[in-house]
Amino acid sequence: MEERHRKILQRNRTNLVRGLDPLNLYDCLFEKGVFTQDMIDEIKCSGTRLEQARKLVQDLETRGSRAFPLFLECLQETGQHSLAELLQSGAPAVQIQPATPTQVFCPVVQPLPVSPPMDVDKQRKDDVPVHPVQRPSTTPTPSPEREYIRPRLPSRTRLDSIQSYKMDASPCGHCLIINNVEFEPESELNNRKGSNIDCDKLEGRFKALNFIVVVRTNLKQRQIKHELSALSKKDHSQYDCCVVIMLSHGTEVSHNRFPGAVYGVDGQHVPVQHITNYLNGQHCPSLQGKPKLFFIQACGGDERDTGFEVSPDEVEPSFGGADDQTDAIPMSSSSDSLSMSDEPDARATLPTPSDILVSYSTFPGYVSWRDTQSGSWYIETLDRILEENAATDDLVTMLMMVNHEVSQNSAKGLYKQMPGSFNFLRKLLYFQS
C-alpha cells in the first residue's frame, strides 16, 4: 500500500473501527482480491465486531497498492458511504473505478503472458500455477494475491502478526484498588490529599471497562498482603484479566525484578516485586497465560527531576498546580529505609514472569507529583487516555501516550516526572469498550 494511503487509514482509524461493519465487507473484499479466504477467516476469529474491524484495518495496510481504492469500492457497494467519503476527503487522487476486477475471478488458461506482469496477477486468483512465473526486475507493486503468497522474512516481526489476548469475558476480571490516604503518626508520612480523586476516577474507569472493582482504603502492610493473597486465591478461570492499582507513598528498595515499594499506612512497605508475585503463574494458576496489570501511583524514591533543556518547538509547556505534592518518603526522617545500593535489573538472576505489566507513575528513584485538588498527574492522564482511546488502541500504545503527556508537566514551574512500565506481556491487550 502506498504510504499516503496508509497514513489516511491511520489518521481515521478511530472512526473506521467504531463505524465499520466488517461482516458486510468480507464477500466484497474477497471477490476483489484484497484478502484471501484464509485471511478473512483469521479476521473473523479475532473476536467481537470491534476487534474484527480493528484487525481488518490493520491487515489492510499490509496489502498491495490497489488495496486502498478497492476498499473504498467495497465501502460504497455495501452502503457504508460516510466512511468512504471520510477516507476520500483525505485522498482526492484515489479513483473509485474498477481496474478490470472481473478478470481476477475468471480462471482462463492462457500461455505465459506477453502482457505486463500486472496482468498476470489480474488473471490469477488462488490457483497454483503449473510452473513458476519469473517476474521481471521492473515489477510494479505486487497485487494482494501475490503479496500474500510471498514468504515473509523471518527476521521481520510485524504488528499484524502479533496475537491479542482474549478479553471478551463478562465481567472481564477483578480489579483491586488499594488507596492509602491517611497515615499513622508513627509512620512519619504525610496524608495524601487528592488521592481519593484518583481512586474515584479509576474505580469508575475500570467499571466502565467491565471489571469487578473492589476498593480498599488505608491498609497497613499486613492488610495489603492479606488483600493480595485473597485475590490470588480466587478462581479466575472464567475471567480474562486481573488488575491491581496501588495509590500510596513509595520508596526505592533493592530488587532483582521490579523496582520500588509501596507503603502501608503504618509506615511498613511492600516491595512491588512481592506484589506481582501473588498473581504469577506459580501462586495463582487460574491466571496462567492471562494478563496481570499493575498500576503504581507512588514515588520510586526522593530524587526530584529538574529535566534538561530542549528546543522550544519540541515540547508544549504545561504546568502543575500550586498545590502539587510528592508521594516520596520524608527525606529528613525516613531516609534509613531508603536503599542506596539498588542493583540494575540487567543483573537479575531470577526468570521474569510472563503476562505481567507494571506501570509506574514515575521513573525508579524519583518522586511522583500529586495535586491536592485534582489528583496525581499520572492517574488523571491515565484515566483520560483510557476514556478516549480504549476503543481503538492497545494498552501499551496508550501507556506511551500517558508517558508523553505527563512528561510535559512541570511542578512549581521546575520539576518534571517521567512515567514508565516494565512490560512482559506476550500479546496485544485491548480492553472491552
CA distances from residue 291 to 31, 244, 265, 280 in whole angstroms, order as listed: 38, 11, 29, 10
Among the three residues 58, 75, 94, which one is the final residue of a domain in this structure?
94
pLDDT tens per residue, range 365-399: 566 666 767 678 899 999 999 999 999 999 999 99
Would residue 249 show up in a list of annotated catalytic residues for this protein? yes
pLDDT tens per residue, range 188-219: 888 988 889 999 999 999 999 999 999 999 99
Is there a contact between 236 and 282 (Cβ–Cβ < 8 Å)?
A: no
Q: Can you say how many angstroms the Cα of residue 374 is from the centroid of all Cα atoms in its chain?
A: 25
| Residue 160 is assigned to a structural domain of this protein | no
Is there a contact between 15 and 389 (Cβ–Cβ < 8 Å)?
A: no
Residue range(s) defining the domain that contains residue 186:
173-306+313-423
Residues 89 and 185 in one domain: no
| Residue 243 is assigned to a structural domain of this protein | yes
Q: Structurally, how many domains does the chain consist of?
A: 2
Residues 198 and 74 in one domain: no
Residues 282 and 369 in one domain: yes
Residue of 5, 236, 249, 274 marked catalytic: 249
The region of weakest confidence among 45-49, 102-106, 382-386 is 102-106
Task: For residue 17, give the nearest of 89, 83, 69, 64 by alpha carbon.
Answer: 83
| Residue 100 is assigned to a structural domain of this protein | no
| Residue 297 is assigned to a structural domain of this protein | yes
Higher-confidence residue of 148 and 249: namely: 249
Residues 186 and 318 in one domain: yes
> What is the chain's Cα-based Rg?
26
| Residue 164 is assigned to a structural domain of this protein | no
| Residue 137 is assigned to a structural domain of this protein | no
**Mean pLDDT, range 12-32, rounded to an integer:** 88
Report the alpha-carbon distance of residue 237 to residue 223 in Å, rounded: 25
Would residue 299 show up in a list of annotated catalytic residues for this protein? yes
| Residue 8 is assigned to a structural domain of this protein | yes
Cis ω for the linkage preceding 113 (within 30 of 0): no
Average pLDDT, the chain: 75
pLDDT tens per residue, range 147-180: 333 344 444 445 556 899 999 999 999 999 999 9
Residues 364 and 239 in one domain: yes
CA distances from residue 71 to 28, 44, 131, 344, 419 in whole angstroms, order as listed: 9, 17, 31, 50, 39
Q: Which three cell numbers stand for residue 132?
A: 513458476
Residue of 172, 199, 284, 299 marked catalytic: 299
Higher-confidence residue of 85 and 119: namely: 85
What CATH code is carried by the domain that includes residue 82? 1.10.533.10
Among the three residues 78, 94, 110, which one is the final residue of a domain in this structure?
94
Residues 192 and 322 in one domain: yes
What CATH code is carried by the domain that includes residue 353? 3.40.50.1460
Residues 352 and 247 in one domain: yes
Structure confidence at residue 367 (pLDDT): 60
Among the three residues 94, 120, 141, which one is the final residue of a domain in this structure?
94
Structure confidence at residue 129 (pLDDT): 44
Residues 78 and 189 in one domain: no
| Residue 255 is assigned to a structural domain of this protein | yes
Residues 249 and 387 in one domain: yes
